[in-house]
């Protein structure tokens, strides 16, 4: 994807344009250079609407491997987490998962420990219960993460079992 294609996609999607502007402002505030690599990686991330890893991001950017190394990807991910544009998740693997969070509602996760499938969910009763428990114990909640680990009950839906067959 060249600069014009990136600009075209960003200009046609106001959500991505807003996220890109926030990233740009953060870089300037931190006296970090606004490079074409950083902008390309950010634009790619903001167009992903699922959890991703550094490796899966690098694969999406495979046409730019001469310009963008895995180390560059990790540095940009770290900057974006610091900017609160990305959430970093440790789902018990040897690598982290990421998701962009601006404009996305809070949600929890259930993760299959066989295939790694991640399902996002929101249950208002769980949120209410957390508020009640915090209040009963004299806490004011400023954030939480709920990750439930299990196995896909229907084996045909589980990528682990599908690959094994």
What is each CA distance from 1 to 5, 39, 65, in whole angstroms?
Answer: 6, 12, 12
**Is it the case that residue 161 has pLDDT exceeding 50?**
yes
Average pLDDT, stretch 134-139? 96
Burial classification of residue 118, based on how many CB atoms lie within 10 Å of its CB (0-12 exposed, 13-18 middle, 19 or more buried): middle
CB atoms closer than 10 angstroms to residue 74: 14
Residues 6+ apart with CB under 8 A from 157: 117
Q: Where are the beta strands (DSSP E) in 84-151?
A: 86-89, 97-100, 108-112, 118-121, 147-150
**Is it the case that residue 9 has pLDDT exceeding 60?**
no
Average pLDDT, stretch 127-150? 92
pLDDT of residue 5: 43
Average pLDDT, stretch 73-83? 95
Q: Which of these, 18, 63, 56, lies nearest to 40 by C-alpha position?
A: 63
Backbone phi, psi, residue 121, to 5°: -150, 155
- Domains of the chain, CATH where assigned: 3-100 (1.10.10.10), 108-164 (3.30.1490.190)
User: pTM score, two decimals?
Assistant: 0.74
- The tokens for 103 are 């404009």
pLDDT of residue 2: 40
pLDDT digits (tens, 9 = 90+) for 21-47: 999 999 999 999 999 999 999 999 999
pLDDT of residue 117: 85
Confidence tier at 143 by pLDDT (50, 70, 90)? confident
Backbone phi, psi, residue 55, to 5°: -65, -40
Q: Share the mean pLDDT of the chain.
A: 85
pLDDT of residue 163: 60
Higher-confidence position of 12 and 32: 32
């Amino acid at each position: 994807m060249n600069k014009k294609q990136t600009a075209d996609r960003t200009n046609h999607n106001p959500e991505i344009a807003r996220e890109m502007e926030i990233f740009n402002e953060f870089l300037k505030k931190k006296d970090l250079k606004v490079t074409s690599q950083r902008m390309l990686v950010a634009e790619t991330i903001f167009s992903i609407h699922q959890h991703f890893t550094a490796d899966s991001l690098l694969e999406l950017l495979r046409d730019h491997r001469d310009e963008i190394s895995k180390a560059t990807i990790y540095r940009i991910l770290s900057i974006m987490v610091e900017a609160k544009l990305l959430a970093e998740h440790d789902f018990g693997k040897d690598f982290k998962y990421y998701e962009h969070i601006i404009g996305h509602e809070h949600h929890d996760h259930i993760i299959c420990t066989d295939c790694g499938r991640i399902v996002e969910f929101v249950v208002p009763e769980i949120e209410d219960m957390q508020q009640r428990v915090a209040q009963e114990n004299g806490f004011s909640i400023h954030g939480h993460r709920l990750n439930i680990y299990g196995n896909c009950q229907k084996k045909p839906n589980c990528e682990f079992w599908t690959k094994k067959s």
